[in-house]
Amino acid sequence: MNNYLITIIGATAIGKTALSIKLAQYFNTEIISSDSRQFYKEMKIGTAVPTIKELTSVKHHFIQNRSIFDNYSVGQFEKDALKKLQNLFLKNNIVVMVGGSGLYTQAVIDGLDYFPEINPEIRLKLIKQLENGELNLLQNKLKELDIESYNIIEIENPHRLIRALEICIGTGKPYSSFKNKSKEKRNFIPIKIGLEADRELIYSRIDKRVDLMLQEGLLEEAKELYKYKNLNALQTVGYRELFNYFDGNFTLEFAIDEIKKNTRRFAKRQLTWNKKDTTIHWFNFEENTSEILKQIEEIIL
């Protein structure tokens, strides 16, 4: 019997969590999260972690299972997720995966790309530029060296930006040229279900989600984490902007506007990333779950 990994894909705030739970309940299976922001137990509100009700309705894995003080890479997640899948497939030949982090999702389904070793001095120089407030300069440098990566990766995330740049500079080749090579074969068949909506509607849902996060205590959560603001896990939308507010660089109103703007930018990059994948079965985000199940069952049967 074949194993199947049903993966829910789509922009942030489009309803992936709700659909993943419905599908997991239907197939009596469990959910793996590939959302790199939801790994960390200290970051609950700002990462839109599923509610207690949602988490208890179906068993989830890789949600708030790490600390912001842990060094946790996409490579380690790939190994952990594959090990977990191996155990889950012993109980059920169908497992659901959901998350907004395209790289982490791709790592599980296709495997990671190989990158050559780079002179560490290059990274140190890039980090120094970042510390000197030259984020925009670094972003423009990536745009010049590798427009494809510039359009896809989260360039507001310093870790992702520096990683792409050090490969470009250290090899003289675009970061994107090392991606999508042949990988080790998986022991499951991926079924990718994409949720889509009009872009303006997605942006509206993002704005409402940010407002809800603030009502639920995002400002207080960020204040608790402020002393750890330089940790890699906290270099993410929703926290960086509030840290700037605490530093006196932003007004609160401007920080909130920046969270919404940067989340919309993130969603735009998700859309760009996902549209390149021709194996995704797309549905309107309001599509009846029965229609999605019909498509899945046609593939399985």
Residue 96 pairs with which residues in a beta bridge? 6, 31
Residue 206 and residue 265: Cα distance in Å, rounded? 11
Contact indicator for 214, 48 with CB cutoff of 8 Å: no
14 annotated among ligand-binding-site residues: yes
- With tokens 């001095």, the residue in question is 121
Task: Count Cβ atoms within 10 A of the Cβ of residue 279 and give its class: 0-12 exposed, 13-18 middle, 19 or more buried.
Answer: exposed
Residue 13 marked in a binding site? yes
Q: Is 51 annotated as a binding residue?
A: no
* Residue type present at position 107: A
List all residues 6 or more positions away from 127 whose beta carbon is below 8 Å from its beta carbon.
162
**Residue 261 annotated as part of some ligand binding site:** no
Rounded distance between C-alpha atoms, residue 254 and residue 244, angstroms: 10
**Residue 16 is assigned to a ligand binding site:** yes
Determine if residue 109 is labeled as part of a ligand binding site: no
CA quadruple 70, 260, 107, 44: dihedral, nearest 10: 40
Q: Are 262 and 201 in contact (CB under 8 A)?
A: no
Amino acid at site 15 = G
235-269 burial, b if ≥16 CB within 10 A, otherwise e? Answer: bbbbbbbbbbbbeeebeeeebbebbbbbbbebbeb
- Is residue 17 part of an annotated ligand binding site? yes
CB contact at 8 A, 188 and 89 = yes
Maximum CA extent, the chain = 59
Residue with tokens 């708030």: 64
Residues at the binding site for substrate are 12-17
Residues at the binding site for ATP are 10-17
Residues at the binding site are 10-17
